[in-house]
Chains A and B, each alone.
Chain A
Amino acid sequence: MADVTRMTATEIAALIATGEASAVEVTRAHLDRIAAVDDRVHAFLHVDTDGALEAARAVDAKRAAGEELGPLAGVPVAVKDVLTAKGVPTTVGSKILEGWRPPYDSTIVRRLRAAGTVMLGKTNMDEFAMGSSTEYSAYGPTGNPWDLGRIPGGSGGGSSAALAAYEAPLAIGSDTGGSIRQPGAVTGTVGAKPTYGGTSRYGLVAFSSSLDTPGPCARTVLDAALLHEAIGGHDPRDSTSIPAPVPDVVAAARAGASGDLTGVKLGLVTEFSGEGAEPGVTAAFRDAVDALTKLGAEVVEVSCPHFQYALPAYYLIAPSECSSNLARFDGVRFGLRVGDDGNRGLEEVMSLTRDAGFGPEVKRRIMLGTYALSSGYYDAYYGQAQKVRTLITRDFTAAFEQADVLISPTTPFVAFPFGSRTADPYQMYLADLFTIPTNLYGGPGISVPCGLSEGLPVGLQIMAPTMADDRMYRVGAALESVIGTLTPPEL
């Protein structure tokens, strides 16, 4: 049998469905691959060998009993450590939650289990999903399988690296400002941020509640669509969840794979062209746009004048919400507790715990957010940022009157070497320059590999109107039909 770790989720599911491979065999193959390479890649924070094999055995038993299997039954999946899974350590990349085993499943994990997928373990991330490189993980960074000396993107670098390193065919990420799409771009994989409210946040450890969106990561657009369909849809446990069916993303991906984009209007955002991106990224992007026009798509220029304020608005809204969301990590009920020696008071123990448990980027954002929400500053900062958010939403609405989807490079630069952007936070924040507007608007966006620059992957971002996630899958699959999947050098 061919190496299942090199196969797509769709191929693996077919093998299991026909009985050519058992779910246990497929799971063992991936666990072996993790054992072989993850000491170098460090995509995983926790490998749940027993849980994975148990889930695989259950799928095999179902098949043996003649029960119907779902389209992803038996397919392994890696889950970003931001989502709770009952009894499985969940750290969010932070020391403050080290050793915490949640007593409940997140909705995403519950749906993954219901779909018969096999959860391999939890993947590395920047602490509390704050970062673009995994360098802010409290447990050390993840290496990019294309060059282990470079970053895999962030915050969900672990999930995307696990795909690129063939440790898993599917992964779950979460995208607050680009944390699914930018890692997808720099690892040469696919990462989709669904419409906000299209996937449930229940059990997703919150960074910024109004922006956080869990979503699928895969090596192909169709696999991402299948995973999106499995995890998406209304959840009564999340008030902000949209009570509507998941757009038909799988059909859209299949339609796009035919390579026909006749009648599709692609909007090029004027404000995203020009300076900002590396020349190699711009070149790969332009080639991809040419390829898309050859498939019948029409390109129109659209102006989104307020996108230039997206980054500053984001760095007020996200830290503000985070300063409140992270208040519960105080050592009282769960996770780390420091200094409780019987002589110290409550406030001191809380302070010592938070000081020891949070890393520098998390502290920076808590302080930024606390300041922005302070009485006397609220209107000038948080209030103003919310107004910008409204204006950006209007830009999107206007742009979608002229184009079916908007396209841009996913991130201005290819995977950068470790340590090259940690000295200046702003240089790190720029990684999300093109992805952040979508989060502020709440619409969906996907990153699909579109070529290489200096031997490193470049991603193309496709943005669609809210609850029109299917459009981006169609265009993404069409692009993939031309570019193909990117294969990193052997580890």
Chain B
Amino acid sequence: MSTTVLPSYDDVVERYAPVIGLETHVELGTKTKMFCGCPTDFGGEPNTRVCPVCLGLPGSLPVANKAAIEATIRIGLALNCSIAPWSRFARKNYFYPDMPKNYQISQYDEPLCVDGWLDVEIVGEDGQPELFRVGIERVHLEEDTGKTLHVGGATGRIHGATESLVDYNRAGIPLVEIVTKPIPGTGAKAPIVARAYVTELRDVVRSLGVSDVRMEEGSLRCDVNTSLSPAGSAEWGTRTETKNVNSLRSVERAVRSEMLRQAAVLDTGGRIVQETRHFHEDTGDTTSGRSKETATDYRYFPEPDLVPLAPDPAWVADLKAALPELPRLHRRRLQQDWGLNDHDMQSVLNAGAVELIEQTVAAGTTPAGARKWWLGELSRRANEAGVELSAVGATPAQVAELQKLVDAGKLNDKLARTVLEGVVAGEGSPSEIMAARGLEVVSDTGALTTAVDEAITANPDIAAKVRDGKVAAAGALVGAVMKSTRGADAKTVRSLILSRLGVEG
């Protein structure tokens, strides 16, 4: 490990200009694999979702999945790319056992979509939103590899392992690769631009409904390229490619950490080696992987088993016309609908709650009600559990139902929290839990009156004080009723007590 003392970030960005670039892989959610009819569902016993084609058995041939081509074109269109009138698959040749054929069917110099852009929004120094246009070099389609499990070694890496097991369930799942152009001029904002780009890209792909884009499950994977050059220099520095960047937060951290590391190397007169580096979630550092200076020659050539792709321009035009609203614009519209200021909207965004609130509102509750639960109690629980908000255990429909019960006066805030606890614990819908746990606010005045009378009878001294005009003393009676009814509406109880004692509230 390096023992170099890292310079401060402010110092680094004053003396160096970063150029970043991102290569993102998105696993498509098509029903079947890229070149065969095997299902693509996540999980499954190893090597059960395989056939001669995705196992690369001798004699088998690929047939391209039209749904995957359509999804790729839609991603390309959403990223303002040109759709190539004619493109081809190519073979990328290298030996690795998780690749059944020892070549990957990918695209090389003739990708499906080229030359687009994506506008991403970051928060500027003045707190105002600031747009950044990220150039898109290409969007292409390829097949995923299998997964190798190295057994017997200390590290789980191939080195030192006694045995390697390969699961080909993932082999052949359609994978879209989205490559940005180099992004110069971000300065100190490089890490947050990188993060904002991946976030926006994720939202765009999700809005298209072509992938679940979950970084934690690997259906969205990101490699981050970083280089530094001395401020004012016309030439860009040597770049490194950081892999194993598995969350949005890691994207930001990886760029920052790599900028600091490279600056330290350059400061001591060192040279940046063009290489692959691995990001470590625990330390936030990157370590050297294999050097690209002795790069594998992939011997790309056009895939002779597949005919070239020439998408019908009319079909492409239809796909373009049917694209959904861009997430950024969609968010702006929601912000207006919900009546939020920029700061409040930013809180919603930061919490990853936009879609959840949108769906909760769609399920029949108010924006304020929906926002209260997702940003309050549920965000707290998600943080505690270290999971994304969407994985906290409550659905928008359940939250909407909960808020409706509150609005109807059947639950007070405290009871609603208890019900929510049950929802998160998987005990059922809010009304089921309310009934099962007997948590409903007692609103039947007959039952309440009985409870009030009982409280008055049990506390004659206090009742006398209230009758004498010491209205504040009624609080103790209210407390007693609340206790016996396990949570009636306090206001109702109070006015009932006062009226039973002949005192005007």
Contacts and interface: CB of A to CB of B under 8 A. Distances in A.
Contact of B57 (A83, A237, A321, A334): A334
B323 interface: no
Interface string B366-395: 000000000000000000000000000000
B58 A102 contact: yes
B66 to A, nearest CB: 12
Contact of B305 (A84, A90, A240): A240
Contact of B60 (A203, A370, A375): A203
A299 to B, nearest CB: 36
B67 interface: no
Contacts of A210: 304
A374 B57 contact: no
A103 B59 contact: no
A346 to B, nearest CB: 7
Contacts of A399: none
Contact of A324 (B55, B64, B91, B306): B91
A240 B305 CA distance: 7
Contacts of B364: none
Nearest to A375: B297
Contacts of A390: none
Contact of B59 (A206, A324, A330, A342): A206
A373 B93 contact: yes
B62 A92 contact: no
Nearest to B306: A239
A102 B59 contact: yes
B295 to A, nearest CB: 9
Contacts of B305: 206, 209, 239-240
Nearest to B97: A332
Select the residue from B55, B60, B91, B299 with max chain A CB neighbours within 10 A: B299
Given A104-B52, A104-B57, A106-B59, A239 B64 contact: yes
A203 B59 contact: yes
A240 B103 CA distance: 19
A463 interface: no
Interface in A326-353: 327-330, 332-334, 342, 346-347, 350
B65 to A, nearest CB: 11
Contacts of B91: 324
A239 B101 contact: no
A205 interface: yes
Nearest to A96: B58
A239 B63 contact: yes
Nearest to A92: B58
A208 B301 CA distance: 13
Contacts of A202: 59-61
A204 interface: yes
A209 B304 contact: yes
B60 A327 contact: no
B102 A327 contact: yes
B57 A102 contact: yes
B190 to A, nearest CB: 31
B61 to A, nearest CB: 5
Nearest to A332: B97
A104 to B, nearest CB: 5
Nearest to A201: B61
Interface string B426-464: 000000000000000000000000000000000000000
A490 to B, nearest CB: 37
B140 to A, nearest CB: 18
Nearest to A206: B59
A171 B62 CA distance: 27
Select the residue from A90, A203, A209, A328 with max chain B CB neighbours within 10 A: A328
A355 interface: no
A240 B297 CA distance: 27
A304 to B, nearest CB: 24
A159 interface: no
Contacts of A238: 61, 63
Interface string B87-105: 0000101010100111100
Interface in A62-92: 83-84, 90, 92
Contacts of A334: 57-58
Interface string B306-339: 1100000000000000000000000000000000
B56 interface: yes
Contacts of A106: 59
Given A103-B57, A324-B103, A330 B299 contact: no
Interface string B29-57: 00000000000000000000000100111
B63 A237 contact: yes
A136 interface: no
B459 to A, nearest CB: 82
A320 interface: yes
B58 A97 contact: yes
A329 B97 CA distance: 11
B61 A328 contact: no
Contacts of A378: 299, 301
Contacts of B100: 328, 333
A382 interface: yes
Contacts of A321: 301, 304
B298 to A, nearest CB: 8
A297 to B, nearest CB: 36
A330 B166 CA distance: 14
A373 B301 contact: yes
Given A90-B58, A238-B61, A320 B301 contact: yes
A236 interface: yes
A208 B62 CA distance: 15
Interface string A213-256: 00000000000000000000000111110000000000000000
Contacts of A382: 301
Given A239-B305, A239-B307, A324-B301, A330 B58 contact: no
Nearest to B102: A327
Contact of B95 (A83, A90, A209, A330): A330
A324 B299 contact: yes
B287 interface: no
Contact of B299 (A201, A205, A333, A370): A370
A328 B299 contact: no
B58 A327 contact: no
Interface in A4-23: none
A102 B58 CA distance: 8
Contacts of A370: 299
Interface string B155-169: 000100010101000
Contacts of B307: 239-240
B309 to A, nearest CB: 11
A92 B58 CA distance: 10
Interface in A353-398: 370, 373-375, 378, 382
Select the residue from B55, B62, B100, B301 with max chain A CB neighbours within 10 A: B301
Nearest to B301: A373
Contacts of B59: 83-84, 90, 102, 104, 106, 202-206
A4 to B, nearest CB: 32
Contacts of A373: 93, 299-301
Contacts of A205: 58-59
A83 B60 CA distance: 10
Given A324-B301, A330-B97, A373-B300, 9 more contacts: A83-B59, A97-B58, A202-B61, A203-B60, A236-B63, A238-B63, A327-B101, A328-B56, A333-B100
Interface of B: 52, 55-64, 91, 93, 95, 97, 100-103, 158, 162, 164, 166, 297, 299-301, 304-307
13 contacts: A90-B58, A97-B58, A102-B52, A203-B60, A206-B59, A240-B304, A240-B306, A321-B301, A323-B93, A324-B93, A328-B102, A334-B58, A382-B301
The 10 closest A-B pairs by CB, nearest first: A327-B102, A209-B304, A373-B299, A210-B304, A203-B59, A205-B58, A84-B59, A205-B59, A328-B101, A332-B97
Interface of A: 83-84, 90, 92, 97, 100, 102-104, 106, 201-206, 208-210, 236-240, 320-321, 323-324, 327-330, 332-334, 342, 346-347, 350, 370, 373-375, 378, 382
